[in-house]
Structure formats: C-alpha cells, structure tokens
Amino acid sequence: MKSFAKINVFLKVVGTRGNYHEILSRFVLCEQLFDEIYFERSNSFAIECDNKEIKENIIQKAIDELKKAGFSNELDEFFSSHKIIINKQIPIGAGLGGGSSNAATFLLMVNDELNLNIKRENLMQIASKIGADVAFFVSGYKAANVSGIGEIIEEFDDEVPNLNIFTPNVFCSTPMVYQEFRSNFLQYIDINAAKKMQNLKSKELLEIYKNEELNDLFAPCFKLYPQMNEFRDKFLSGSGSSVFSVN
C-alpha cells in the first residue's frame, strides 16, 4: 500500500502545551512521493526496511497502541506468520511526514486485513497517540487545517498549485528546530496571522506571503543548519529540510 508524503503550506506556532508546541498548519498530501508497505508471510515477525538509517520504527509504536486499544490477540495471531516490509522513498529528517505516514498506512492496512472494524474517527484517536502528524494521514483528506498538537484535523477544500519539491542532503532534527524556536523566537508568535492563513487556499497563501511569514520554523531551521542557506528563496515544509517552489 502506498504511504504518501505531505507538505506544510503554512505552519504557525500559536502556543505551548508542556513540552509540546500548539500549531495551526495547512497539510497537503503529496501523492507524487510515497513509500510502500506490505505484509509478507514469514516464520517470525519482523519489520524490514530498505533504509538502514532508520533505527527506531514508528510502526512498532503503532502496534503497541493497537494492543493497548484491545487488539493484542488479533495482532499476535496475524504477525506470528507475517512480517512487515517497508520500501522507503520519502527522505527522513525532511519535513515530509514519512514516518507518520508509515504509521498511519500500517493502521489502515491492519484494520482492513485483520477485519478489526475500527471506525475512522477511533483510528484517528489511536493515531494521535503515536505521533503528531499520524492522524492527518489516517483521515484520508487531501488537504486539511491541522491544529492543537496535530490531533485536530479539519478537511479543507483547497486549491494547490503544481509544486516542485526538493530535499537537500541535510537532516533537520524536528525536536531541535522546535527547541530553537522556543528559545529564541517564541516572542514573535502571531495568532491573528495564523487565523487569516487558515481561511485562504494554498494558491493564495503562496502568492501573498513570503516564505518566512508562512512557516515559523523557517528562521530557527536556517539558523541551526547554515547549509540550508542556498535554499533561502524557497518555501520550507515543516521543520525542514525539504523545500518547495511553485511551478
């Protein structure tokens, strides 16, 4: 099953909640870039990924949350004779939500394959416990305004221009970029700007606003990773390193 990437057309930090950051953001599904996940018969359970750089797999967290939700027996029975194969195309540390998408795709696959009959809204609740972006990918929406710490998903009837997406050979740590924002940029929070942005279509946003205005993580990302400077004229997705421009 295809596991699609996403971009953030805008991302505004609007507050903090403990160690987390409350956001308002436009998520848009990128169907031209995807990983593939499938189940294969096996004598023992394993999660096999063709990208050896991935040490901890978020799919294991998805399994753990499904077990907490009461599906241990079904999972144990199925995975006693199956393993999970992940073929990665979405770069890691790139602001494209690859890991979150993988977890969401796994939830959808296992719900269908094992006939768990979990309703979409309940699956989204499980997803929000796994990671900040997972619920969006479970939702099935092409575009949405995402708020809270990623758990509030509102479908948006969007108009998205053709985009060129490029991922530099730079790994951007999401926790470090957010920490840099909290340390040095928190005083610049602009909730009113965020509220205006949520009502505009992506095409309008990309025409009206500058890249730094659309993404509050732009400045902290470029401060932490000076090698990103050659892409300063592009729009930044999430915490980076992926950038995009309008065709």
Beta bridge partner(s), residue 30:
5
The answer to the question of whether 18 is labelled as a binding residue is: no
- φ, ψ of residue 72 to 5 degrees: the values are -60, -45
The answer to the question of whether 150 is labelled as a binding residue is: no
The answer to the question of whether 59 is labelled as a binding residue is: no
Name the residue with tokens 């294969």. Answer: 40
Q: Is 157 a catalytic residue?
A: no
Q: Is 68 a catalytic residue?
A: no
The answer to the question of whether 131 is labelled as a binding residue is: no
The answer to the question of whether 92 is labelled as a binding residue is: yes
Closest CA to 106 of 166, 77, 65: 65
The answer to the question of whether 99 is labelled as a binding residue is: yes
Query: Annotated catalytic residue: which of 35, 88, 133, 234?
Result: 133
**Residue 71, CA distances (Å) to 80, 84, 221 in order:** 14, 17, 40
Name the residue with tokens 């972006």. Answer: 133
The answer to the question of whether 100 is labelled as a binding residue is: yes
The answer to the question of whether 139 is labelled as a binding residue is: no
Order of all β-strands in the sheet with 235-236: 163-166, 243-246, 235-236
Annotated binding site: 91-101
Catalytic residues: 6, 133
Annotated binding site for ATP: 91-101
